[in-house]
């Protein structure tokens, strides 16, 4: 067995790669470690700069304040519901449309694909969209959050490319010879072979629904229907903490009260960031294998 000796330029290239990857890891990892440490550290030490990486003055008061706020739990419930229903609707629209456009025997597929592409470059805008949602009677309803984003043209293109490069045409022809209808072919044969792209689409759409707050800001006017991100926006941007969660911590003169309130807001700020991102981080490892495979297959051929 012969070994390939690396030249000096190859070794230099590897060293540069390792240095670059280490720097990239530090840039990506430091904010995450800092936020986790700040969420369990004394807010005075965080604001003064004494805590710059690892936690100091361990405290879970921030998480206690977050979870004592009933709006957080209501937001979690609403977001889980919107994410599940919205993602299922997205998959129900995207996958059949992508499969139909991937079939070479589908008459007019180039025309429909062109019409889809137009919407990627031109849209009605916020005001016409709001008027349409209002005229449909969807204001302050779940439909206002999931129906306008029922499909993404980019995701349809990626899924279509996956079907074109993965599902053999001979398999479709054999199924038709055996008397299989198009719907049964799609449900019984194509979908079971498409778990990578289904996982990719579910992750794309699910993360989008989980992080979405702007549609709820525009279309919802009932606090009980706000998703988690909208509740967090109130806490972070508008600093709307209820009297039950902040009143007990603020005492003394006005200056001290304002200082305490600012410290509490900072402590809660880091805690809610962890609370809002933890579910997505927890789900991603289970979909990573399918995610990488689906993205690579869907991006090789166009």
Q: Is the pLDDT of residue 169 over 90?
A: no
**Of 38, 59, 80, which marks where a domain is finished?**
59
Residues 121 and 150 in one domain: yes
Q: Which residue has the higher pLDDT, 12 or 285?
A: 12
**Of 41, 59, 77, which marks where a domain is finished?**
59
User: What is the model's pLDDT at position 107?
Assistant: 87
Q: Which of 200, 158, 207 is nearest to 289 (CA)?
A: 200
Residues 24 and 131 in one domain: no
Q: Is the pLDDT of residue 254 over 60?
A: no
**Per the structure, how many domains does the chain have?**
2
User: What is the model's pLDDT at position 246?
Assistant: 46
Q: Are 38 and 46 in contact (CB under 8 A)?
A: yes
Q: Is the pLDDT of residue 302 over 50?
A: no
Gap between the Cα atoms of 69 and 127, Å rounded: 34
User: What is the model's pLDDT at position 242?
Assistant: 44
Residues 4 and 152 in one domain: no
For residue range 18-36, list pLDDT tens digits in order.
Answer: 999 999 999 988 888 888 8
User: What is the model's pLDDT at position 126?
Assistant: 86
Measured from the Cβ of residue 38, the count of other Cβ atoms closer than 10 Å reads: 26
User: What is the model's pLDDT at position 19?
Assistant: 94
Residues 37 and 84 in one domain: no
Residues 248 and 292 in one domain: yes
Residues 153 and 20 in one domain: no
User: What is the model's pLDDT at position 249?
Assistant: 46
Q: Which class for 86: exposed (0-12), middle (13-18), buried (19 or more C-beta within 10 A)? A: buried
For residue range 172-206, list pLDDT tens digits in order.
Answer: 888 888 888 888 888 888 888 888 888 889 888 99
Residues 70 and 52 in one domain: no
Q: Which of 279, 300, 172, 170 is nearest to 228 (CA)?
A: 279
Q: Are 185 and 176 in contact (CB under 8 A)?
A: yes
Residues 143 and 231 in one domain: yes
For residue range 87-98, list pLDDT tens digits in order.
Answer: 999 999 999 999
Residues 136 and 213 in one domain: yes
Residues 121 and 31 in one domain: no
Residues 171 and 292 in one domain: yes
**Of 10, 42, 59, which marks where a domain is finished?**
59
Gap between the Cα atoms of 184 and 190, Å rounded: 9
Per DSSP (E only), the strands in the chain are none
Containing structural domain, residue 134: 61-300
Token pair belonging to 175 = 């199924």
Q: Which of 157, 158, 135, 161 is nearest to 148 (CA)?
A: 135
Read off the CATH number of the domain in which 240 is found. 1.10.3720.10
Q: Does residue 52 sit in helix, strand or coil?
A: coil
Residues 16 and 158 in one domain: no
Q: Is the pLDDT of residue 64 over 90?
A: no
Mean pLDDT of 157-180: 85
């Amino acid at each position: 067995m012969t070994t390939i000796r690396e030249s000096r330029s190859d070794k230099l290239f590897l060293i540069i790669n390792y240095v670059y990857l280490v720097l990239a890891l530090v840039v990506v990892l430091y904010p995450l470690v800092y936020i986790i440490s700040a969420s369990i550290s004394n807010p005075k030490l965080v604001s003064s700069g004494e805590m710059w990486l690892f936690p100091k003055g361990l405290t879970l008061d921030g998480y206690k304040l977050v979870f004592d706020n009933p709006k957080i739990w209501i937001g979690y419930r609403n977001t889980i519901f919107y994410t599940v229903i919205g993602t299922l609707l997205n998959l129900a629209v995207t996958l059949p449309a992508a499969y139909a456009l991937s079939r070479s025997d589908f008459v007019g597929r180039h025309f429909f694909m062109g019409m889809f592409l137009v919407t990627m470059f031109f849209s009605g805008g916020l005001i016409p969209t709001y008027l349409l949602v209002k005229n449909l009677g969807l204001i302050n309803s779940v439909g206002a959050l999931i129906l306008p984003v029922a499909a993404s043209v980019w995701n349809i293109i990626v899924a279509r490319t996956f079907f074109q490069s993965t599902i053999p045409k001979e398999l479709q022809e054999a199924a038709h010879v055996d008397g299989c209808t198009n719907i049964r072919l799609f449900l019984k044969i194509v979908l079971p072979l498409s778990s990578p792209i289904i996982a990719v689409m579910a992750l794309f759409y699910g993360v989008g629904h989980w992080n979405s707050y702007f549609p709820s800001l525009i279309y919802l006017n009932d606090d009980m229907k706000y998703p988690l991100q909208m509740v967090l926006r109130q806490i972070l941007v508008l600093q709307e903490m209820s009297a039950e969660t902040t009143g007990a911590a603020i005492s003394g003169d006005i200056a001290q009260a304002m200082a305490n309130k600012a410290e509490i807001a900072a402590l809660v700020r880091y805690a809610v960031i962890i609370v809002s991102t933890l579910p997505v981080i927890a789900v991603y490892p289970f979909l990573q294998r399918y995610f990488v495979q689906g993205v690579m297959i869907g991006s090789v051929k166009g």
